[in-house]
Chains A and B, each alone.
Chain A
Amino acid sequence: MTDLVWKSMVELARLIASKEVSPVEVVEAHLSRIAALDGTLKSYITVMGDSALQAAKAAEAAVTAGDGLGPLHGVPIGLKDVYCTKGVKTTGGSKILADWAPTEDATVVSRLTAAGAIVLGKLNMHEFAYGPEGLNPHYGTPWNPWDKATHRICGGSSSGSGAAVAAGIAPGALGSDTGGSIRIPASLCGITGIKPTYGRVSRAGVLPLAWSLDHVGPMCRTAADCALMLGAMAGYDPRDPTTSVLPVPDYLAALTGQVKGLRIGVLRAFYLESTDPAVRALVESAVKTLEGLGASAQEVNLELPKHAAAASYAVISPEAYAYHEGWIKTRPRDYGSDVRQRLLVGAFVSGADYLKGQRVRAVMRDEVDRALARLDVLVCATTPMPAPAVGQKEVRIGAENQPVRPNLIRFTRPFNMTGHPAASVPCGFTAEGLPAGLQIIGRPFDEATVLRVADAYQRATDWHTRRPPVAS
Chain B
Amino acid sequence: MEHLTIDALRTMARAQGLELSDEDLAAVLPLVQVGRGLMESLAAVPLDDVEPSSQFRIF
Contact = CB atoms under 8 A, between A and B. Distances in A.
Interface string A297-312: 0000000100101110
A341 B31 contact: yes
Contacts of B55: 198-199, 212, 242, 419
Contacts, number: 105
Nearest to A365: B53
Nearest to B39: A353
Given A199-B56, A348-B9, A363 B38 contact: no
B55 to A, nearest CB: 5
Contacts of A328: 18
Contacts of B28: 341, 344-345, 348
Contacts of B45: 304, 307, 360, 363
Contact of A198 (B9, B12, B35, B56): B56
Contact of B42 (A244, A311, A337, A340): A311
Interface of A: 197-199, 212, 241-242, 244-246, 304, 307, 309-311, 313-315, 317, 328-329, 332, 337, 340-342, 344-345, 347-349, 353, 355-363, 365, 419, 444-445
Contacts of B20: 344
A245 B12 CA distance: 43
Contact of B50 (A198, A344, A359): A359
Interface string B32-56: 1001001101101111001111111
A199 B58 CA distance: 8
Summarize B's interface: helix, strand, loop or mixed.
loop
Nearest to A338: B27
Contacts of A444: 56
Nearest to A241: B57
Given A309-B38, A314-B38, A341-B27, 18 more contacts: A199-B57, A212-B55, A245-B58, A246-B58, A304-B45, A310-B42, A313-B35, A313-B38, A314-B35, A317-B35, A337-B27, A344-B18, A345-B31, A347-B12, A347-B18, A358-B53, A362-B52, A363-B47
A356 to B, nearest CB: 6
B56 A340 contact: no
A319 B56 CA distance: 18
B53 A362 contact: yes
Contacts of B50: 359, 362-363
B6 interface: no
